[in-house]
Chains A and B, each alone.
Chain A
Amino acid sequence: MIPFLAFLTGSELLWAAVGFGLIFGFLLHRGGVTDFDVIVRLFQFRDFTVLKVMMTAIAVGGVGIAILHGHDLAQYHIKATNLLAVGLGAAIFGVGMVLYGYCPGTGLAAVATGRLDALAGLAGMMVGGIVYALTFDWVAANILPVGAYGKLRLPELLGLPEWVCYAGLVVMTISVFALVNKAEKKTK
């Protein structure tokens, strides 16, 4: 069933894509996360901007969408838990992110702020995308099926009610921010 609120279709949806992207790119730049130093320093525990932006977005978006979902006003879009593919992919991604200095979204936004290294990396991402497509048949046969648990969510995995998991998410987010504030005070 298509949720009642999802009224955008056809060409409206395409215009909305540009509009939503515009807001996203604007926010990435204003958040300071289109900066090489800000991103890399996260992994050295010297700048927590990326973590603050991401975890706030996860907590706010998570609770909001859960409420909408509870009233049948929004659908979930869960990606499959393919243990080997997600684990290996994320490990490779971490190496690439620290070498590139951006992630795919912030890199693309950084290109638009005039960063030439982000542009070189965008060319690299095109090559990486081509290499993946050319190796896809092998990956689909040998990597994707290993540890394939389908569209799994934490409430099912942990056997806990939805609201307990979301409360846990909020408590965890606040605790992480408290720790981050402590760490920031120490370095000042």
Chain B
Amino acid sequence: MKNPRWNPYLVGVLIGLLSIVTFSVANKPLGMSTGLAQAAGACAMPILGSDQVAANTYWAKTAIPAWDYSTLFLVGTMAGALLSTLLCGVFKFSSESSVWTASFGPSKTKRLIAAFLGGIIIMYGARLADGCTSGHGISGCLQLAVSGWLFFIVMFASGIFTAKLLYGRSVQA
């Protein structure tokens, strides 16, 4: 298989340049989780009913479910990752990863359930903190926002602790 990976420093420089462009010509920072919260609002409509969604303070004011800059950025992100995998011929349906398998075995069901639960947890955390690795981690930190650096440091510490608990038994994997 061809190795599609570029030098991580080069990728970092290019993401930095991309954020300079979005800040200047679009007056927008890079961010992900606001768009995802808007999408969650759209998903809630068939479950809760659109009146309930419209009446919710959070969806009515902060994360209005709509095709706007934040949600279209998500569409672009998926298209970009897909384009990259297709260009180097590495698109493949899979759910295996060696760190997970070393601790929890090859069961796909187990992995998918854990990922689903992880998704619930990460999104709740991202909304409570008002940002994720992109919105706080990259955009917040690069503006020297106290909230961004606080997020980065606490998230990192919590991740180290959790990784030790979950995957500590299999450091050799």
Contact = CB atoms under 8 A, between A and B. Distances in A.
A37 B109 CA distance: 18
B146 A14 contact: no
B143 to A, nearest CB: 5
Given A44-B171, A111-B78, A117-B95, A31 B6 contact: yes
Interface residues of A, number: 124
A40 B160 CA distance: 9
A140 B56 CA distance: 13
Interface string A97-122: 11111011111111111111110111
Listed residue (B4, B119, B156) with the most chain A CB atoms within 10 angstroms of its CB: B119
Listed residue (B23, B37, B150) with the most chain A CB atoms within 10 angstroms of its CB: B23
A171 interface: no
B85 A114 contact: yes
A85 B125 contact: no
Nearest to B127: A132
A23 interface: yes
A131 B167 CA distance: 28
Interface of A: 2-3, 5-8, 13-14, 16-32, 34-37, 40-44, 49, 52-62, 64-65, 68, 73-83, 85-101, 103-118, 120-134, 136-137, 139-140, 143, 149, 151-155, 157, 165-166, 169, 177
